[in-house]
Amino acid sequence: MNHVHLGPELPPARGPVSAAVREYLRGTGPLPRAEDADAAAAYGDDLQLALYLCYELHYRGFAGVPPEREWDPGLLGVRAALERRFLAALRADATVHTRLDDALADLLVEPVDGAGVSHFLREQGELWQVREYAAQRSLYHLKEADPHAWVLPRLWGRAKAAMAAVEFDEYGGGRADRVHARLFADLMRDLGLDTTYGRYLDAAPAEALATVNLMSLLGLHRELRGALVGHFAAVEITSSPGSRRLAEAMRRTGAGAAAAFFYDEHVEADAVHEQVVRHEVIAGLLEEEPHLAADVAFGIDATGHLEDRLGDRLLADWRAGRSSLRVPLGTVPGVLVGEPR
């Protein structure tokens, strides 16, 4: 059966590396030159889009791209080179904690004078900023839980059982209408956004792509299973308070009932998940493989580093009264929404 037509359209390139990857996927050009891959900025648009294109082949792929490109040896070699640059930058820039206990302790502390994106949106965000936030987060939330599911075959015992239990919740507990990706699509619909998978890839800046690429990077490599568990811990432990603020932001800006419900759902669910992740997933993993403690800490640090970079980008743009997106969102026909000045 031919599946070439499935998946979103390939987005425009953002530099020589992503341009070459794009053309290679289309069958109209060679792979990137080694020197271009080596020279690409680790957190820049060109490298991050090129990596995203490579990783997306392991999810739904792209329209017009043959399925066999997923395991193309030459393309995997390019991806490996880009991953080395990205991972080396993260190890150099993101590593904060040498002890896992310290990394976890910091995650559990909610700053009294928090000033992140969820605080901004709750206190002063406008509807157009909420829409921009949702559009960028859709790159992850429309595939929510999928990158983390890759770690399941690499765990066993307590860690596997607990990870599977949390993932089961993320996938709606067996109910299609409760799958978190479906709930996020409902949120987007309330906000007048297009719910098509991958629709806002071209609009999202490098900082947003990097947060999604990190999950794919950690999920696709068995040797990084500890870091993937660290990423999962960072997401689940910090989710509940942040989701509470975002639910309030949705209500204050009139985003809609489904928009508020998505974050309400995460307040309660992730409060439970946080306990399971710390006491079963992480504890179970380290019971079997104690040498992975430093990797778990790195996963926590890398997640925080990239989330901070994205938050800084969003807040800098919004406080200056400008859009944080590369291209305008537009609207779904028949839905009126506010736009940035």
Q: Which residues of the chain have pLDDT under 50?
A: 1, 3-4, 331-341
Whole-angstrom Cα distance, residue 68 to residue 237? 38
Q: How many CB atoms lie within 10 A of CB 84?
A: 13
Alpha carbon distance, N-terminus to C-terminus of the chain: 48
Phi and psi angles of residue 63, each rounded to the nearest 5 degrees, phi first: -60, 130
For residue 157, is it left (φ>0), alpha (ψ between -120 and 50) or beta? left
Residue at token pair 């059966």: 1
**What is the predicted pLDDT for the residue at 332?**
43
Contact yes or no for 235/300 (Cβ under 8 A): no
Whole-angstrom Cα distance, residue 284 to residue 152? 13
Q: Which of 209, 204, 266 is nearest to 235 (CA)?
A: 266
Task: Tell whether the torsion through CA atoms of 238, 250, 259 and 61 is positive or negative.
Answer: negative
Contact yes or no for 129/198 (Cβ under 8 A): no
Which two tokens mark 167?
């993932």
**What is the predicted pLDDT for the residue at 135?**
97
Helix (H) / strand (E) containing 164: helix 157-170
Using alpha carbons only, give the angle 69, 136, 236 rounded to the nearest 5 degrees: 95
- Coil, strand or helix at 23: helix
Q: How many CB atoms lie within 10 A of CB 265?
A: 16
**What is the predicted pLDDT for the residue at 232?**
95
Which two tokens mark 206?
């490098």
Give 173's DSSP letter.
Answer: G
Q: Which of 235, 70, 67, 226 is nearest to 140 (CA)?
A: 235
- Taking only the tens place, the pLDDT of each residue in 54-105 is 999 999 999 999 999 999 999 999 999 999 999 999 999 999 999 999 999 9
Whole-angstrom Cα distance, residue 310 to residue 299? 17
Amino acid at 37: A
Contact yes or no for 167/149 (Cβ under 8 A): yes
Residue 110 CA to its chain's centroid (Å): 22
**What is the predicted pLDDT for the residue at 335?**
41
**What is the predicted pLDDT for the residue at 44?**
98
